Each structure stands twice: as C-alpha cells, then as structure tokens.
Amino acid sequence: MKNKLIVTLTTVYGSRQYSLGQVARYLVAFFVIVSAVSFFISNWLLVKTSDDLASLEEDHQQLTDQYEMMLGTQTLYKNELDELSSSLSKVANERDQLQEENVRMGELQLSLGENLNELETLLNVPDTGDVSADRLETLTMMANQRLFMLNSMPNGLPIQAIRINDGFGMRMHPLRKKPVLHKGIDYKAEIGTPVYATADGVVEFSGNKGDGYGRQVILLHNFGFRTAYAHLNKMVVSSGEFVHKGQKIAESGNTGQSTGPHLHYEVRHLYKPINPAPFVAWNIANFDTIFTTVKSVKWASLKNLYPLNQTVQP
C-alpha cells in the first residue's frame, strides 16, 4: 500500500477506487506541478498583458489627443493662411489701384500741362512751364476777365460780308458829292444777310429816324459804348430788349441813302464815333492791343473796376 496511489472517483452510480503505480504517481505529480506553474505563469502574463494594454490605451489616448491638437493647430494655421492670402490679395489690389491712379495722375498732369499751354497760347502770354494749380487759377482768372471785357465792349465782325466797300474817315460822299466824315465801315452784302450784335447790351433804338441811315438798330453796351447797324432790310429786335454777343438782330438791306446793298456799322463812345477797325480785329489773343491802338478812350481807369481790379500776374 505504500507504493500505491489510490484515486477515488465518486459519481451518481457510486464510488470507485483506482490504484496508481509509482510512475503514475510521478506523472500526476508532474502534471499537477506543471499545471500550477502554468497557472501562475498565465496569471502573471495576463496581469502583464493587462498592464501593457492599459499602457497602450493610455498611449493611444495621448496620441489621439495629440492628433486632435494637431488637427486644431492645422485648422488654425489654415485659417491664418487664408487670412494672410486674403490680406495679400487686398494689398495687391491696392497696389494695382495705386499704379492705375499714378498712371491717371500722370495723364491728368500731362493733360493739364497741355491745357495750360493751349490757354497760354490763346491768351498770348509766355509759356512759363508751370503746371501748378496757382498757375491754372491765374490763367483762368485772366481768361474770365478778358471774356468779360470782350462780351461787354464791341469786337468782332457784325456780318459775314462779301468785302469792305468803305472804311472809317474822310471821304467824298457818293450822293452829296462833298467830303464828309464816314463814321463807320460799309460791308457789302446781299439783302437779307444776317447781322449780329458785337457785344452784350440793350436795344436803344430799332426803326427808321429819317436821317439817311434807313432802317437801323442802335445798341447800348457797357462802359459808354454804342454800336449802330444801318441801311437794314429787316429788324428782328425792338427797343428795350436785352441782346447778347453773337445774337442776330437784323438783316442787311439797301434802305435810306444807300447806293447798293450793304451794312453800315458804327462804334461810338460817349456818342462820339470812333474807328471800328481795331474793335473788329480785337480778340482774346491780342487783347492788350486795343488799349494802345484806340487812344480816344481813357482805358487806365478801367483797372479800378470790379472784377477787373483782381490781381493777375501772367
């Protein structure tokens, strides 16, 4: 009995006993030991695996957090990059606009220079090369002053004539046959040719005085000037009307003491006839010539009148 191992198995049918020899006992003991060792090793491996798994899960969570952080940072960078791209686009557009503005300013500067040169040529003043705003203002004031004078006093042609028959001065009267002062200029023209006012003014007389001038229109202008248009066929304005320079006031004819169709044109200052020729030739380019050519008018006092007393240095 010492060398035998009895194993008892109990079931519902009863108990049975089995005897094992020494080798069998060793095998069973070895099996038990191996099972116990395997159990402890398995438990150790399970615990270690659990720890490793927990560590891996923690690492995974950290990686996940880092990934999400990187995604957030990338999104932030992308937004900043988009804002930077938008800012660069705006800067580029502003740069392009500034370049276009510079081109326009250059064109305007060139245009202003050309206009100033044309205005200086028109006014017959020296070209200074100055294209400043002050220069433009000075030339504009000068032009306005000259235009005011040219609209206020007689200048230019009263009619598109065929030719001049007689000028101002002493001549043999064609009907009286004796020397008399011819007080104006006779312009040969077909009957019905338009006659124009040579300055702004008011109609002092429109009709026939029976004084040899036939049908006539007399205009009263600024600064004591008058103009007379005689031997007319038809008047289109009446006494008291205001007229402007270049306005049609009559049609030429052959009425009164006339030897043929023509317009007799006179310029008077304080009722005194003066030679119309300098006034006919007077314009904005030769503006200053009238003040030295016509000496019977006291021009010096004009400079004291407004707006002619504005300082202008061409």
Q: What is the pLDDT of residue 51?
A: 76
The confidence band for 50, taking pLDDT boundaries of 50, 70 and 90, is confident
pLDDT surpassing 90 at residue 270: yes
Task: Pick 165 or 112 by higher pLDDT.
Answer: 165
Query: Could you tell me the CA-to-CA distances from 145 to 135, 247, 283 in Å, in that order?
Result: 15, 21, 13
Element holding 16 (H helix, E strand): strand 14-20
Mean local confidence (pLDDT), 300-314: 70
Per-residue model confidence (pLDDT) at position 158: 97
pLDDT of 112 > 60? The answer is no
Q: How confident is the model at residue 267 (pLDDT cuts 50, 70, 90)?
A: very high
Question: What is the assigned CATH class of domain 159-280?
Answer: mainly beta
Q: How much of the chain exceeds pLDDT 90, in percent?
A: 42
Residue 233 token pair: 């066929």
Better-predicted residue by pLDDT, 147 or 313: 147
pLDDT tens digits for 7-40? 676 777 777 766 656 556 666 677 778 777 777 7
- Report percent pLDDT > 70 for the chain: 78
Contact 192, 252 (CB under 8 A): yes
Helix (H, G, I), strand (E, B) or coil at 242: strand
Q: Per residue in 217-234, is it b (16+ CB within 10 Å) or e — as a string?
A: bbbebeeebbbbbbbbbe
Per-residue confidence band for 1, with pLDDT thresholds at 50, 70 and 90: very low
206, pLDDT greater than 90:
yes
Q: What is the mean pLDDT of the chain?
A: 82
**What pLDDT is recorded for position 118?**
67
Strand partners, 272: 269
pLDDT for residue 235 is more than 70: yes
Residue 314 has a pLDDT of 45
Express each pLDDT in 57-81 by its tens digit.
777 788 777 767 776 776 776 777 6
The pair of three-digit structure tokens given for residue 178, joined into one six-digit string: 């004796």
Residue 313: band (very low, low, confident or very high) from pLDDT cuts 50, 70, 90:
very low
- The answer to whether 126 and 135 are in contact (CB under 8 A) is no
Beta bridge partners of 227: 219, 267
- Residue with more model confidence, 250 or 23: 250
Higher pLDDT, 107 or 145: 145
The 10s digit of each residue's pLDDT in 118-157 is: 667 777 777 766 667 777 777 788 888 889 999 999 999 9
The neighbouring-strand residues paired with 123 are none
The most confident of 84-98, 113-127, 235-249, by mean pLDDT: 235-249
How far apart CA 18 and CA 11 sit, in angstroms, is 14
